[in-house]
A and B are shown apart, each in its own frame.
Chain A
Amino acid sequence: MSAEHSPEHGHNKNATLQARVNRLLEIAERHGLTTPAAVDERVDAFLSKTSPENGSRVVARAWLDAGFADRLRDDATTAVQELGFSGGHQSDMRLRAVFNSPTQHNVIVCTLCSCYPLTLMGPPPPWYKAEAYRSRVVHDPRGVLGEFGLDIPESVEVRVWDSTADVRYIVIPERPIGSEGLDEESLMALVTRNCLIGTGFPTTGRRP
Chain B
Amino acid sequence: MSGRSDAFAVGNRVRVKVSNSAGHHRAPRYVHGRCGRIESYVGRFGLPDDLAEPGRPVRTDRLFTVCFRAEALWGADGHPSDSVYVDLYSLYLEPA
Q: For the complex, give the distance between the alpha carbons of A156 and B88 in Å.
A: 26
| Min CB–CB distance A169 → chain B (angstroms) | 9
The residues of B that contact A154 with a CB separation of less than 8 Å are 81
The verdict on A163 contacting chain B, using a C-beta distance below 8 Å, is yes
Contact B81 A164 (CB under 8 A): no
Q: Which of B2-27 contact A (CB under 8 A)?
A: 26-27
Contact of B85 among A94, A142, A162 (CB under 8 A): A162
* Given A157-B81, A167-B87, A162:B28 Cβ within 8 A: yes
Contact A167 B82 (CB under 8 A): no
Contact A111 B79 (CB under 8 A): no
Contact A166 B84 (CB under 8 A): no
Contact A139 B87 (CB under 8 A): no
Which partner residue on chain A sits nearest B86 by CB separation? A162
* Given A94-B43, A160-B82, A166-B45, A138:B87 Cβ within 8 A: no
Contact B30 A158 (CB under 8 A): no
| Min CB–CB distance B44 → chain A (angstroms) | 10
The residues of A that contact B27 with a CB separation of less than 8 Å are 164
Q: Which of B74-96 contact A (CB under 8 A)?
A: 74, 77, 79, 81-89
The residues of B that contact A161 with a CB separation of less than 8 Å are 84-85
Of B45, B65, B83, B85, the most chain A CB neighbours within 10 A belong to: B85
Contact of A159 among B28, B73, B77, B85 (CB under 8 A): B85
The residues of A that contact B30 with a CB separation of less than 8 Å are 111, 138-139
Q: For the complex, give the distance between the alpha carbons of A142 and B81 in Å.
A: 11
Contact A166 B42 (CB under 8 A): yes
Contact B42 A157 (CB under 8 A): no
Contact of B84 among A142, A162, A165, A167 (CB under 8 A): A162
The verdict on B33 contacting chain A, using a C-beta distance below 8 Å, is no
* Given A92-B45, A111-B30, A112-B28, A164:B86 Cβ within 8 A: yes
Interface residues of B (CB under 8 A from A): 26-28, 30, 42-43, 45, 48, 63, 65, 73-74, 77, 79, 81-89
Q: Which 8 A-B pairs have the closest CB atoms?
A: A165-B87, A158-B82, A157-B81, A160-B84, A162-B86, A166-B45, A111-B28, A161-B85
5 pairs, A vs B, C-beta closer than 8 Å: A111-B28, A138-B30, A139-B73, A140-B77, A165-B89
